[in-house]
Structure 1
Amino acid sequence: MKESVCCIQRFHKKGYGTGKSPGFSKPLHVIGGVIGDELIVEVKTKQRAFIKQITHLSPYRTVPKCSHAPSCGGCSWQQVDYLFQLEQKQQRVHELFACFIKEQFILKSILSCDQIWQYRNKMEFSFSQDRSGQQFLGLIFAGSRGHVFNLQECWLVSVWFSSVVAQVRLWWKQSGLSAYRLDNTGSLRTLIVRQSLSTSDRLVMLTVSGRPEYALNKQQIQQFIQKILLTAPEPEKVSIFLRIQQAIKGQPTQFFEMHLHGPDHMLEKLNIEGKTLTFKISPTSFFQPNPRQAEKLFSSALQAIQGPKKHILDLYAGTATLSIVFAKIADRVTAIELNPHAVFDAKVNKELNHIKNLEIICGDVGSKVQELKNDPDFIFPDLVIVDPPRTGLDGKAIKALLELRPQEILYISCNPVTQAHDIQLLMPKGYQLVLLQPVDQFPHTVHIETIALLRLF
């Protein structure tokens, strides 16, 4: 590897420090670099480098808590002062939406996170093995192509997560099993760990290969359960699942779940504007990974809307969290979600929170909207809520929005890049962006959540 000098001038979209270096025509992306750093780096590829020595400390640099920083790909900004993280995220949102800024547009200041450590309620860890058979269970190295390191600690979650990883690693060594490989051999794929921040519920799910020759036997499964229970202060409240992932070439991947121990779900609670709401979370259902900050997110979204509304339509509804939050300002709410497991949880959540004005529909957003429109009794929504995956709205969803033409669209996004792209498609059809609220859901990472309100003019 070649050594070079590099002065960090900005951040890469993945959080790396970026700067020019003598002898290189393109800027270098330095893992762990901070704006204002002067560094001696080792250049691994044409543009990627690692810090060998810091010759001048950035005023925005701080000491990370975690021993894995900055090489861990889980969070790239532990070495960046938190207030500077917020400034960088606010600036990023401003740059992405600069072309939308008009007199009626309000870009609010980013909502900071009160708890910047141990804020997550879910992590997914990977199993891996090298050619010599050495075992790795943890997260992915930053800048690597899927290389896993053995995780010892993680400051984004409670210490229980690390205890689970340690016990599963011991079980793995004794089990005789191998990690799953891309050639569809091996058994162990991923380990998902969840812990409620408002109840004592915990959940662990081991994902394994669906090939019969790599199946776990009864003894291996029982030993896995026992290792997990060793970590728990209340073993009876730990939900344990085995998920079988069947990947057959030329066919859609299938998943099968086995409930091994404890309750078949966990509960999480959110306090939204003084009201406590309870949500059931199944092992594969999506729920906001930072519940305390989700309370700020949902409260802010609710405050952006001037109620009451006759009909709110919630697309990509998941477990109907937003539908339940917004039911208080609507005569009627309709939620559409494709995942049947999430729909089942949504219906339970509706009952748990005594919501009477919510209808939950399972199916594809585009086709279900068409079915609703063809119903003679259908009341067109005056507000549509969308909270899509990172890829943004698909063509069917955009088409559905334009056909429904609600007076307002509330677009919540975990990826402001795709959100800006989608809003650009909606604006020529009469919509204007009137409010944008950035939210810091994930301190020490580059990720930004944004609430956008569009209004039909």
Structure 2
Amino acid sequence: MRHRHSNDSLPTSTPEFTLTIESVAYGGSGLGHKNGKVVFVPGTLPGDRVRVLTRKEKTNHINAALKQIIEPSPIRTAPEPGFIIPKSSLAYSPGFCYFYTDYENELIIKQTQFRSLMEKEMVLGNGTILDPIASPVPTHYRNKIKLNVEDDHGTIRLGYVMANNETVLNLPLCPLAVNPINDYLAELNSQPGFRHSLKQGMELTLRYTEHNGVVFWRNKPDRNMSWLREETALGGISVPCGSFFQVNSVVCNLLLERVGYYLDKIAPDVVLDFYCGIGLFSVAAAQRGIDLTVGIDQDPSAIKAAEYNGNHHNLKNCRFIAGDAGKQAQDVLETYPDARTCLIVDPPRTGMDYRCRSLIANSGINDILYISCSSDTLARDIASLAKNGYQVIETQLLDMFPRTAHFESLTHLKLG
């Protein structure tokens, strides 16, 4: 039961008010209520009693900034040493939203969010939500970071953009980055003139692999930069600097293990891999002896790398197509429509585009493995597929991004 205090009766138009945080919404903001309206407060946890400042008020919700923690939540802890604590949630970043509690609590909160999203869209049906897969390393796991530059009247800040979308929190190191990246960043900062080479609005990317060490670039990587080599559970995988690869190498291997489990269980003759990137899941399928894998991605550099990775692993059963999945899907789905085909989709945060989603829904393919980094668009896409008879069999959270608001998931759908 939520405890009521005398100042809970203040009108919602009051710029400042107090409330108790009841849960953490998907996206990382604490959630409470004021006079029938939902209140979102970044930087808070369930059980926090807080004083907040109204930032924006809508018909049914209020976005507020944390001013004071009056009474801390029982699950609130001090961040690990070296973490810079923003002085208010105006400087708060979703990238650090769970640094204020133990990782065990974070995983419970994320699993609750995941279940709530699936149930809200009524897409779970008789499907099972499996226990979450935790990241064995909750900090210092990111093999890539992208830092923003702010020039504040000659003072250069290098770090992450905060919740106000303006301020950059200057970070001498990133508590999420692998140690070699932090060591390299410290070395860059120690070089005379390095900060003077940074300009307002610039992005600085640092990327690490065991094979290549740390490389960095400003804004976009040079076209002539050598490909990187990632060591994975499949063996060596080549990745162009500007192409996508999972930022958590350890959980990436756990995801590959789970995809392999479902491929063995489904035992398809053909695997279609939409949004395939550098061909990671196509290679995983081909290595399991599946007759044919066909990958599609709009990044031509990634497709070149996918072809290289297939050849490098002596896989003759991999085919890759450069192009938009929504535009290429029709021909591919018409070519391989039977029940012995399994479709893997791993779209960006925006989910599948409407055309691709519609074509898949009407394809008649028996099994779909949907890998998602954004559970709200996952739920939307599953709801669309469900109208054509697809049912969730199992779904599972994999915490690819510990200490942040984000997580990965893997869902097995079957045509019912």
TM bucket, shorter chain = 0.7 to 0.9
Paired position in structure 2 for 1:49: 65
Pick from 57, 62, 76 the counterpart of residue 61 of structure 1: 76
Contact 2:341-2:367 at 8 Å conserved across structures: yes
CA distance in 2, matches of 1:385, 1:174: 43
SS in 1 for 2:161: coil
Q: How does 1:133-212 map to 2 (within 5 A)?
A: 133-141=154-162, 143-169=163-189, 173=193, 177=197, 179-180=199-200, 189-196=202-209, 198-199=210-211, 201-207=213-219
Question: For structure 1, which segment, 78-87 or 61-70, has the greater mean C-alpha deviation from structure 2 after superposition?
Answer: 61-70
Paired position in structure 2 for 1:9: 22
CA distance in 2, matches of 1:454, 1:291: 26
The answer on 1:415 being equivalent to 2:374 is yes
Pick from 79, 89, 106 the counterpart of residue 110 of structure 2: 89
Contact 2:273-2:281 at 8 Å conserved across structures: yes
Paired position in structure 2 for 1:296: 254
1:343-362 deviation per Cα after TM superposition (whole angstroms, max 9, x unaligned): 11111211222222111111
For residue 280 of structure 1, report the CA deviation from its aligned partner: 0.9
Distance 1:161 1:258, change over 3 A: same
Paired position in structure 2 for 1:230: none
For residue 258 of structure 1, report the CA deviation from its aligned partner: 4.9
The answer on 1:326 being equivalent to 2:285 is yes
Paired position in structure 1 for 2:125: 102
AA in 2 matched with 1:358: C
Q: How many residues align?
A: 387
Paired position in structure 2 for 1:353: 313
1:200-223 deviation per Cα after TM superposition (whole angstroms, max 9, x unaligned): 532211127xxxxxxxxxxxxxxx
Pick from 11, 15, 18 the counterpart of residue 31 of structure 2: 18
SS in 2 for 1:113: coil
Paired position in structure 2 for 1:427: 386
CA distance in 2, matches of 1:419, 1:333: 23
Distance 1:162 1:44, change over 3 A: farther
SS in 2 for 1:341: helix
SS in 2 for 1:309: coil
CA distance in 2, matches of 1:314, 1:9: 40
For residue 7 of structure 1, report the CA deviation from its aligned partner: 2.0
Pick from 114, 121, 124 the counterpart of residue 143 of structure 2: 121
Paired position in structure 1 for 2:9: none
The answer on 1:317 being equivalent to 2:339 is no
AA in 2 matched with 1:158: V
TM-score by length of 2: 0.85
For residue 329 of structure 1, report the CA deviation from its aligned partner: 4.6
Paired position in structure 2 for 1:80: 101
1:26-85 deviation per Cα after TM superposition (whole angstroms, max 9, x unaligned): 454333211112234455665322243x34331211211243235452221100221111
CA distance in 2, matches of 1:348, 1:284: 16
Distance 1:166 1:44, change over 3 A: farther
Query: Kindly, what percent of the aligned residue pairs are identical?
Result: 26
TM-score by length of 1: 0.78
Distance 1:404 1:139, change over 3 A: same
Contact 2:83-2:175 at 8 Å conserved across structures: no
Distance 1:56 1:454, change over 3 A: same
AA in 1 matched with 2:41: V
For residue 106 of structure 1, report the CA deviation from its aligned partner: 1.4
SS in 1 for 2:168: coil
Contact 2:211-2:229 at 8 Å conserved across structures: yes
The answer on 1:279 being equivalent to 2:299 is no
1:88-111 deviation per Cα after TM superposition (whole angstroms, max 9, x unaligned): 1111111111223434x1110111
Paired position in structure 1 for 2:10: none
Q: CA RMSD in A?
A: 2.6
Pick from 314, 318, 341 the counterpart of residue 301 of structure 2: 341
Paired position in structure 2 for 1:37: 48
1:353-385 deviation per Cα after TM superposition (whole angstroms, max 9, x unaligned): 22221111111223323344676xx67561111
AA in 2 matched with 1:407: N
SS in 2 for 1:429: coil
CA distance in 1, matches of 2:85, 2:262: 37
SS in 2 for 1:330: coil
For residue 150 of structure 1, report the CA deviation from its aligned partner: 1.6
CA distance in 2, matches of 1:406, 1:433: 14
Q: Name stretches of at least 5 consecutive residues in structure 2 with no aligned partner.
A: 1-13, 58-62
Paired position in structure 2 for 1:387: 346
Contact 2:25-2:113 at 8 Å conserved across structures: no
CA distance in 2, matches of 1:69, 1:317: 38
